[in-house]
Amino acid sequence: MKTLSSIGFALFGAALIAISYGLARFAFGLFVPPIRAELELTSYEIGIIGALPLISFVLAVLVAPFLADRLGARNTAMLAGGFGAVGLTLISQAPGPLALGFGVFACGICTGLMMPALTAAMQVLVDRAVHGRVSSVMNAGTSIGVIVAVPTVLFLADAWRLAYLSFAVLAGVGIIAAWFFIPSVSRIIPSNAAPPPRITALQWWRLSRLSLFAFAMGFISAPYWIFAPDLAVTLGALPSSQTALLWLAVGIAGLGGAVVSDLADRNNPPITHALMLIMLAASLALLAASPGQLLLAAYSALVFGLAYMSLTGLYLLTAIRLLPGRLSVGPVLPFMAVALGQAAGSPIVGLLVGEFGYADAFAMFSAVGILVALLSPLYPRYIDPEPEAQAELAEPAEQTGLQAAYDQQLVDEEGQPLEFVDPIEVDVIEIEAEKV
C-alpha cells in the first residue's frame, strides 16, 4: 500500500465518490431519454427502475459498517468498486428492463458501500484534526462525478451503451487504485476516547424529526434526478445532448453546498432549511414551466444543485451533532433517509407522469416542497449544552461547520472534547523533558 497525504487522500476519495455516486447513481437520469426510447419503457417502469439503486443503497449502508470491520477498508472499497463495475457493465449491455434493473441495483450497492469504506480508511490515514475538511472534499466528489458525465452525454448522447461501458472501465480503474492506496484495516475511534453516552429520549425525538425532513427532501427531489432531462426532451423538444447542460449546472452549483451548510451551522438551521427547500421546489416548477428555453432550464438546474447539496450537507451536520461519539451512525442516518425518500418518490412521479403529464407531476411535487418548507420551524436544533458548559464555549464562529462537528464528536472520561495531539509535538515534549 502506498501512503497518501491528507490532501492526497481527500482528492483520491473524491475521485472514488465521483465514480460511485456521480456516474453509477446520479448520471442515470441523463440517459433516460435514449434508454427509454431504445428499450421502449414507460414512465412508470423508469420510475420503478430509478428506485432500485436507492433501495439497494439503503441495504448496503446497513451492512457497510460490519463489512468494513470484518473485511477492512481496502476490501470493502474494492467490493464496492466491483459492484459498480458489474452494474455499469450490465446497464451497457441491457436488452430490456430486467437486466437494466439488475444493473442499477448493483450500482446502488456500490454507492452504499463506498463512503463507509472511505470513512474507515480516513480514520487510519488522516489526522483527526482535519477529518471534517477531508470529508467535505470527498462529499464534493458527487458534484464532480455529475460534471464528468456531461462531456460523455455531449459526445455520446445516442450511444448510451458505450458511455456506460466507459463508466465501467473507470470503475475498474478505481478498484485497482483502492488496492494501492487504501489500508486493509481501520481504526474507528482513538483508544483514549470515552464510550458514547446512551441515546436519550430527546435525541431520539430530534433524530426522528431530522429523518422525516430528510425523507421528505429526498421524495421532493426524485422527479429532478430521474426525469428532468426526459422532461426537457419531451416537453421542450431539446436535443438529448443539450440536456447535459442541466447536469453541468447541477454539478457546479452543488460544489457550493458545503458553504451554505456551514453558514447554516453558524446562523439558523431551520431558516436555512426553509429557504433551501423552497429553492428546491422552485427549481421543479421553473423547469416544468419553461423546458424549451435552455437558459431557464439550466438556471433551474443551478438552483436545484445548490439547494440539494446544501440540504444534504445540513442534514449531515445536524446528525453528527445530535449523535456525539457515534461516528458510524451520525453520518449515515440522513443519507439513508434521503435515499428512502427518493425510492418512494421515484415510482410515484413515474405514475403521475403517465396519468397527468410531466408539467402537472412536477408541479405537484413542487407544491409538496413548499408545504414541507412551511414546517421548517420544527427542524431539530442541536442538543444544547449545560449552562456551565455554555459559559466555557469559544466564539460561535470558531465552532461551526463540518470540522467543528467532528471535533465535538469524541470526549474524554471527564466529558470534555478530546483534542487532537500531533505525534510530532508529543515527541518534542518528551525530548525536552528528558533534557531537564
pLDDT tens for residues 343-364?
999 999 999 998 999 999 999 9
Fold of 1-186: Growth Hormone; Chain: A; (1.20.1250)
Locate the domains of the chain by residue range: 1-186, 198-382+397-436
pLDDT in tens, 73-110: 899 999 999 999 999 999 999 999 999 999 999 999 99
φ, ψ of residue 184 to 5 degrees: the values are: -80, -20
Other CB atoms within 10 A of residue 154 CB: 15
HSE toward the beta carbon, residue 238, CA cutoff 13 A: 29
Q: C-alpha grid cell for residue 425?
A: 509535538
The average pLDDT across 322-327 equals 71
Cβ atoms of residues 330 and 353 within 8 Å: no
Q: C-alpha grid cell for residue 67?
A: 463489512
Q: Which amino acid is at 308?
A: Y
For domain 198-382+397-436, which CATH number applies: 1.10.3720.10, 1.20.1250.20, 3.40.1690.10, 1.10.10.10? 1.20.1250.20
Q: What confidence category does residue 325 fall into, taking pLDDT thresholds of 50, 70 and 90?
A: low
Asked if 1-186 and 198-382+397-436 have one fold, the answer is yes
Q: What confidence category does residue 404 fall into, taking pLDDT thresholds of 50, 70 and 90?
A: low
Q: Write down the mean pLDDT value for the chain.
A: 82
The residues, any chain, with a CB within 8 Å of residue 296's CB and separated by 6 or more, are 286, 290
Q: C-alpha grid cell for residue 347?
A: 415510482
The average pLDDT across 5-22 equals 90
Question: CA–CA separation, 254 vs 142, rounded Å?
Answer: 8
